[in-house]
């Protein structure tokens, strides 16, 4: 068996050299030279001075008043223009919500597409047989860890029924990690609070 494996590797290597080796020409080869640093550059003095210059520039702008710090929560970013340091609410991805359908039921059909697409693995769903005739399943448990989430929007993109969305809300507070794990009821409550403002 090992002989056949070695023969296969030798054949593959030979074919690779025959296909790719024949295309390489001498004039196509470029020899790259590593740039030489002088004594000052090797001590990183210009880079340190450039960084200090940036810091001093921002410090002077803050003292003169060209950079203004927002006095949060009295001043909020969504009330200002984007060029004035505000927030673009059409592109911001904040806390999640579970949408309701026309009858006020949870829109989710427990297909697990959002949990599968999530790169942070922060969504946990337990599905059950739906008591309604228009769908097969619904989630009896839907937990989303807001601290583990990276707010990439993959769950929103993967959902076939638009059941989960990211809102513009960003000022969520939790004193413990358990408070930041949003269950189905909390996600539906966020929907009730943000239903007038359609996300993205």
Contact 79, 86 (CB under 8 A): yes
pLDDT band at residue 7, thresholds of 50, 70 and 90?
low
Checking if the pLDDT of 15 tops 80, the result is no
Checking if the pLDDT of 65 tops 80, the result is no
Tokens describing residue 118: 């999530």
According to CATH, the topology of domain 96-194 is Alpha-Beta Plaits (3.30.70)
Q: Which residue has the higher pLDDT, 10 or 193?
A: 193
d(CA 165, CA 187): 10
Give 71-100 pLDDT, tens digit per residue: 788 888 888 888 877 888 878 889 999 999
What residues form DSSP beta bridges with 181?
145
Separation in Å, CA 61 to CA 57, 87, 193: 6, 21, 39
d(CA 141, CA 124): 8
Q: What is the 3-state secondary structure of the chain? A: CHHHHHHHHHHHHHHHHHHHHCCCCHHHCCCCCCCCCCHHHHCCHHHHHHHHHHHHHHHHHHHHCCCCCCCCCCCCHHHCCHHHCCCCCCCCCCCEEECECCCCCECCCCCCHHHHHCCCCCEEEEEEECCCCCCCEEEEEEEEECCCCCCCCHHHHHCCCCCEEECCCCCCCCCCCHHHEECHHHHHHHHHHHCCCCCC
* pLDDT for residue 85: 76
Give 148-164 pLDDT, tens digit per residue: 999 999 999 999 999 99
Domain ranges within the chain, ordered by starting residue: 96-194
Give 118-177 pLDDT, tens digit per residue: 999 999 999 999 999 999 999 999 999 999 999 999 999 999 999 999 998 888 888 999
């Amino acid at each position: 068996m090992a002989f056949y494996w070695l023969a296969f590797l030798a054949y593959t290597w030979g074919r690779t050299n025959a296909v790719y080796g024949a295309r390489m020409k001498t004039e196509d080869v470029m020899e790259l030279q590593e740039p030489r640093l002088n004594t000052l550059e090797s001590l990183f003095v210009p880079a340190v001075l450039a960084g200090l210059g940036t810091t001093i520039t921002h410090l002077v702008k803050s003292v003169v008043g060209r950079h203004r710090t927002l006095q949060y929560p009295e001043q909020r970013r969504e009330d200002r223009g984007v060029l004035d340091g505000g927030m673009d609410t059409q592109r911001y991805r904040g806390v999640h919500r579970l949408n309701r359908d026309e009858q006020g039921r949870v829109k989710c059909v427990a297909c697990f597409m959002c949990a599968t697409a999530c790169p942070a693995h922060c969504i946990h769903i337990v599905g059950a047989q739906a008591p309604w005739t228009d769908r097969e399943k619904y989630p009896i448990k839907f937990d989303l860890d807001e601290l583990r989430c990276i707010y990439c929007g993959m769950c929103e993109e993967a959902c076939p029924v638009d059941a989960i969305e990211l809102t513009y809300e960003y000022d969520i507070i939790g004193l413990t990690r358990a408070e930041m794990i949003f269950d189905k009821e909390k996600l539906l409550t966020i929907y009730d609070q943000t239903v007038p403002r359609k996300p993205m």
